[in-house]
Amino acid sequence: MLFDDASADFHGFFERHYAELARLAYLLTGEPDAADDLAADALLALRRRWDRLRAAEQPLAYARGVVANLARARIRSSVRGRRRVALFWSHRSKRVDGPDVAAVVDVRAALDRLPFRKRACVVLRYAFDLSERDTALALGVSVATVRSQTSKGIAELERMLGTRVAGELVADRRNR
């Protein structure tokens, strides 16, 4: 099967960014099974508009925004407040990869307790190393909102995890 230029271009975009979008979906929802579905749904939505989007300045920012919106919709429709946390813990995989399993579980649980916008800002800024501008583009908010929500999110993480642990997370990302 031969690809036209748009199909080949989209295929390249898919290959370069699918894993990142799935990881973003996982970090936003905490649901490993849903992450692939959300990334695929986002890319399907992009494919339908690819002729317009490939000419855009930041198609990846648009893709991240679609994933964030799909993740938000999934969270809102599945549960509210404490029920969401309970659902996550009862359905999550028991296996967690990483060098310090207890720390990973603590950070994951702390992220789950953050409101969606704060969580999205913290995840995009520190887990994905996006600039404030790129985070704002992905979430469709102002740079000032990103600054505010990130600051408040880090402050809440510090309260939950302790200043030293949260500070190490932020410092580790800044020193890369």
Structure tokens given for 52: 């317009």
- Most distant CA pair in the chain: distance in Å? 56
pLDDT for the residue numbered 144: 96
Report whether 121 contacts 135 (CB < 8 A): yes
String of DSSP letters for 124-146:
IIIIS---HHHHHHHHTS-HHHH
pLDDT for the residue numbered 86: 55
Residue 92 neighbours by CB distance under 10 Å: 16
Q: What average pLDDT score do residues 72-76 get?
A: 82
DSSP 140: T
Q: Domains of the chain (ranges plus CATH)?
A: 1-81 (1.10.1740), 94-176 (1.10.10.10)
Report whether 143 contacts 133 (CB < 8 A): yes
Spell out the residues 6+ positions from residue 134 whose beta carbon is closer than 8 angstroms to its own. 58, 61, 124
DSSP 125: I
In this predicted structure, the answer to whether residue 87 has a pLDDT above a threshold of 50 is: no
In this predicted structure, the answer to whether residue 7 has a pLDDT above a threshold of 80 is: yes
- From residue 173, alpha-carbon distances to 15, 34, 96, 134, 165 in Å are 25, 26, 21, 16, 13
Q: What average pLDDT score do residues 92-103 get?
A: 52
Confidence of residue 32 (pLDDT cuts 50, 70, 90): confident
Say which residue, 131 or 86, is predicted with more confidence. Answer: 131
In this predicted structure, the answer to whether residue 70 has a pLDDT above a threshold of 60 is: yes
- Helices then strands (H, E): number in the chain? 10, 0
Residue the block writes with tokens 């579980």: 105
**Which runs of E-coded beta strand occur in the chain?**
none
